Amino acid sequence: MGEKTKLKLLHILNILKEESDEETILTTNDIVDKLQDKGIIAERRSVIRDIKTLEAFGYDISLYEENKQGYYLRSREFEEEELRILIDTVSASKSITTKKSKELIDKLKKLTSKNLGKKIVGQVYIDEKIKSKNERIYYNVNALSSAIEENKKVNFKYTTYNINKQLEYRKKGKTYKVSPYGLGWHEDNYYLIGIHEKYDNISHYRVDRIKDVEILDEKRKILKEYENGKEFNIADYINKTFNMFTGEKKTVKIRFENHLINPVIDKFGTNVFLRKDGDENFLVCAEILISKGFISWLLQFGSSAELIEPVEVRSMIKAKVKELNNIYN
């Protein structure tokens, strides 16, 4: 009994965190009863003193004198809308398995009261069709992060789906030796960005498709452009790689109809060079990696988007349009 009494202040704090919110105000008697359930006998006056001690320490507690009903924890580490965003992000992530998503959401909901946590989670939808099946995702992230911090290369096996919708190893299970540069998100997928041992360009790999990560006792391979200490910019790489396809870097000029301003901003960002071109169109100039992904992205807008320069990329698009015409003609 004595030991539990010494912990009374912490138990009261925990009760306020778990049981109270703006819609669930606890009276002094409520708190006394909840303490008794934990084997702690307390007087009302001592509970009130403890609550005021917590408030004096910095906890934002609404007191009886303020609301004339009782006590509740008014603010927390995360507000309701912040938790909703975090939980929705976890539920939408393709890289996190359904099981891991549910476990992480359970942890997040404990950052608020039980009532509010139940309310938020009750509105969450997890689309299991898009979820990864790799339960080792946390291990992958931890191992790859450690390799980056330690400036080490990694070995791993990489998987892909076959026509029967089954995951199988690429290159018949041969390992990939990669110098990891960073980890980044793009369209709800998590990617390792680095340099394959056999090549001198940066590439990327879905973290949820990686298996059997091994940190090697070898220093990372450094590209010439980063030998002088220049840091690799992950955000810049993701932006310029576009739909996660690699290719030759070129500056393009594209004419878009005005109604496409939102998808253009989504892809290029607000810092893109943009100017009006008459009343119905605008021009964009941007440096990107020319790839199949870029061409497919542009063609989805049909006649509402036209690549003006460079000529060689325009020719690539013409060839793709002709190929599509032959298929559907």
Write b or e for each residue in 296-316: b if 16 or more Cβ atoms lie within 10 A of its Cβ, otherwise e: ebbeebeeebbbeeeeebeeb
Stretch 261-275: mean pLDDT: 86
DSSP 69: S
Tokens coding 264: 């253009």
Q: How far apart are CA 266 and CA 90, in angstroms?
A: 21
pLDDT in the model for residue 291 = 84
- Per-residue pLDDT, averaged over 101-119, amounts to 89
Amino acid in the structure at residue 261? I
Distance (Å, rounded) from C-alpha 8 to C-alpha 47? 9
Smallest Cα–Cα separation from 181: which of 220, 211, 214?
A: 220
Q: How many CB atoms lie within 10 A of CB 131?
A: 20
Pick from 63-67, 99-103, 134-138, 189-193: least confident = 134-138
Please state, in angstroms and rounded to a whole number, the distance separating the CA atoms of residues 190 and 207.
6
Tokens of 232: 């690799």
Is the pLDDT at 229 greater than 80? The verdict is no
Q: What are the residues facing 283 on neighbouring strands?
A: 255, 275
**Structure confidence at residue 133 (pLDDT):** 82
The structure's pTM equals 0.66
- Between 36 and 290, the more confident residue is 36
Instruction: Pick the more confident residue, 229 or 182.
Output: 182
For the chain, how big is the Rg over CA atoms in Å? Answer: 28
The answer for residues whose C-beta is within 8 angstroms of residue 313's C-beta and 6 or more apart is: 250, 252, 290, 307
Q: Is 320 helix (H, G, I), strand (E, B) or coil?
A: helix
Question: Which residues have CB under 8 Å from 218's CB, separation 6+?
Answer: 152, 153
What's the gap between Cα 328 and its chain centre?
Answer: 39
Look-up of token digits 């690539």: 316
Residue 250: what are its φ and ψ, rounded to 5°?
A: -145, 155
In this prediction, residues 116-124 reach a mean pLDDT of 82
Residue 220 and residue 197: Cα distance in Å, rounded? 9
Mean pLDDT of the 279-301 span: 90
Q: What band does 55 get if pLDDT is binned at 50, 70 and 90?
A: very high
**CB-based contact 308:255 (threshold 8 Å):** yes
Residue 295 and residue 286: Cα distance in Å, rounded?
14
